[in-house]
Structure 1
């Protein structure tokens, strides 16, 4: 029944666009209805609607968020992360979307998916749940996820991608000291002259980080 309501909403948005004219708000509503009708999957049809919204309103946060979520669902975690980071940098400090973007980044960064398994972004229900959380609860949840990744790396320090996720997670959370510490531990785990250490250093540089002496 709920999915049917979303399908009805998508039909209503299409009619509104056809009869009353196109707008970013209507395109975003259409894209969201299509995604919700598909159980939270940002399909190609939904992406077209969100992209149409951004053409009219490049700063539309909801459209940007869902497009990044679509990338994550396709297994393009790196591109999704880049899109969310770009979005986070452009959001006003008091934007209600900051929490959802930070959670999405931490979630994507901390997932240790099996090799070859797509890393899915949070679904529509997860986005809604995060937005309803208090700032303290949201921060606690994110920090718990990152702390779990940190602990895994203490047990298995030979995980290159894990270290990259941890460094990025701390950087996204604004914990620069912890990010630098993670970078230093990653380098020590493989040796300062190793290829892995060079990879860590180059990646950290893109975040404006340098290893501590």
Structure 2
């Protein structure tokens, strides 16, 4: 994983085929290696495979311990990919090695402030362009991860209202929220 990171850093944050091969080898040795998982998802995002990258980061986030130093980087990557795809309709490029280094060297308070700013930006974009089911699920998850249950419930209820309470999206949002330990009636 360290070799893959070095190769990506030398390439200005681009996950090249050589870096990808190093990360895949690391995952064969340690399937739970967060660095390898993160960078492989970042490579997918750089290739325009944003849905696969998002799924990879979401899977990674679900498996990470609450105190993992990787949680902030994964949340940042998810928020950034959601922000860019909502804002431009163009697949987002993931954060580069410099972004990750910057986030990992921040104080916990600065990292939290950065994440809160990105989540607030996603919330605002959904107010302007509310027909984004994936964006609503990202917003709900982000608020839950940040420990903001009231705002998560508000996002859940707003998302349901956009699509209608009997819609497939509403059912998906409700099931997703429940899987995060959140219900609309709390």
TM-score where L is the length of structure 2? 0.82
Structure 1 unaligned segments of length 5 or more: list them. Answer: 1-27
Partner residue, 1:57: 30
- CA-to-partner distance for each residue in 1:54-77, whole Å, 9 max, x for gaps? 212333322222112112222333
1:69 equivalent in alignment to 2:37: no
| Separation in 1, partners of 2:61, 2:133 | 25
1:159, CA displacement in angstroms?
4.1
Task: Give the 3-state SS of the residue equivalent to 1:109 in structure 2.
Answer: helix
Question: Mean Cα displacement is larger for which, 45-54 or 167-176?
Answer: 167-176
Residue pairs, 1:1-213, within 5 angstroms: 28-111=1-84, 112-115=86-89, 117-212=90-185
TM-score where L is the length of structure 1? 0.73
Structure 2 unaligned segments of length 5 or more: list them. Answer: none
Shift in CA distance, 105/172, structure 1 to aligned 2, threshold 3 Å: farther
Which structure ranks higher in relative contact order (CA pairs < 8 Å, sequence separation ≥ 6)? Answer: 2
| Number of aligned residue pairs | 185
Partner residue, 1:23: none
Which structure has the larger Rg? 1
| Separation in 2, partners of 1:164, 1:95 | 22
